[in-house]
Amino acid sequence: MIDIRFLRENPEIVKQNIRNKFQDQKLPLVDEVIALDAENRAAIQEANDLRADRNRYSKEIGNLMRQGKKEEAEEMKKKVTDADARREELEKKEAELAERIRQIMMVIPNIIDPSVPIGPDDSANVELERFGEPVVPDFEIPYHTEIMEKFNGIDMDAAGRVSGNGFYYLMGDIARLHEAVLAYARDFMIDKGFTFCIPPFMIHGNVVEGVMSQTDMDAMMYKIEGEDLYLIGTSEHSMIGKYIDQIIPEDTLPHTLTSYSPCFRKEKGAHGIEERGVYRIHQFEKQEMIVICRPQDSMDWYEKMWKYSVELFRSMEIPVRQLECCSGDLADLKVKSCDIEAWSPRQQKYFEVCSCTNMGDAQARRLKMRVKGADGKMYLPHTLNNTVVAPPRMLIAFLENHLQADGSVTIPASLRPYMGGKEVLIPKK
């Protein structure tokens, strides 16, 4: 969500940004909101003038009454009544115009960073760098659920009976590995100076509206029937929502938080064959990192955050690459974003395991978060988020990259303390 003053003063920049995001259907909204804004400001000015007139009329009425000019005072009272009626009409109009302007501003995309490559969709995303050597072993790697089944580690049939498609039971060594990765990721981020947090797993609708676009909300969020509560799709939602309507002292910035949560997603739409198993599911667990900082520091934090993901995955001996998201692949609130993708030896390609995003001041503006500077002036902070690990996808990358020809799975040194010292997992069948 951009500042309406910026849109008012720079309509062509906003329109070009819309074109860069291949959302030409939104171009008329810029002129519409400018016209509505002008009408709204005129209504506000007229209402303010009427309030000033009312104060003046009230004083005159008092003077006339003291002078015994009752008829003139009554005429003046009629002017006050007429002015009040018009003012009430204008206040109603102001509220209606303000709400319409807000609705339009919620769907006009944020201004992307100049470094973002221009392209219509994810096919135009750009590989920037690879970390670690991708290896294709000389033996066949089964599908990830088949690997898990060898360890008696997954039961999707039972989950289907209990909850339907898109759910799973993890068991035994696979369940332990899942939790080991989360615990290791938690401690990894604490060692980077981040504060560990467990947030609420349900949030109010105004928080949802503050942290994500309407399109994403409809496609992702589960609503609790009969209540103003939604299940979170990622802990970013409640972590950023923590600051709604808050004034943050500048000397406390940056706020660096790492949070654990379950995540719940509708995952609407059809998906390809490689998204069966535990790749795209309705419920999973995740460790997230969140930064609230001064605007001038946000790009430095963006660089640090995606590099933390690379460091974490490399410490578990998983090759990864950084993929820069193009303009058409950025959600409306995003200023700049990249994916960290892990190597899949089975597919012989990379797939997304982390997504690092600079939101600029969009979420802060929607949530009315402010920073009080040393000079006493208020400004909007920037918000950033990045996946530390989401174990279902992480498990796929881990199992494929650590699978041995005999079906065993090696445990890298970084994870052994979280796996009871085990160096290898032996299949049950």
pLDDT tens digits for 178-213?
Answer: 999 999 999 999 999 999 999 999 999 999 999 987
Per-residue model confidence as pLDDT tens digits over 274-295: 457 888 889 999 999 999 999 9
- Rg (C-alpha) for the chain, rounded Å, is 28
Domain ranges of the chain: 4-105, 122-425
Instruction: Report yes or no: 385 and 182 within 8 Å, Cβ to Cβ.
Output: no
Mean of pLDDT over the chain: 92
Give how far the C-alpha of residue 225 lies from the chain's centroid of Cα atoms, to the nearest Å: 23
Q: What is the pLDDT of residue 270?
A: 42
Provide the CATH number for the domain formed by 4-105 in this structure.
Answer: 1.10.287.40
Report strand pairing: 370-372 vs 247-249: parallel
Give me the sign of the Cα torsion angle 167, 172, 175, 178.
Answer: negative
User: Given this model, what pLDDT does residue 275 score?
Assistant: 59
Three-state secondary structure call for residue 126? strand
Closest CA to 20 of 90, 113, 106: 113
DSSP strand pairing (255-264 vs 247-249):
unpaired
Q: Which two tokens stand for residue 423?
A: 């160096």
Mean pLDDT by 10 residues, the chain (429 residues): 93 97 97 96 90 76 76 76 85 93 94 97 96 95 95 94 92 97 98 97 94 78 94 93 96 97 78 65 94 98 98 98 97 96 96 96 96 95 96 93 97 97 94
CB 2 within 8 A of CB 104: no
Domain 4-105 identical in fold to domain 122-425: no
> Cis (ω within 30 of 0) for the bond into 254?
yes
| CATH level 3 topology of 122-425 | BirA Bifunctional Protein; domain 2 (3.30.930)
Q: Is 410 helix (H, G, I), strand (E, B) or coil?
A: strand
How far apart CA 312 and CA 192 sit, in angstroms, is 11
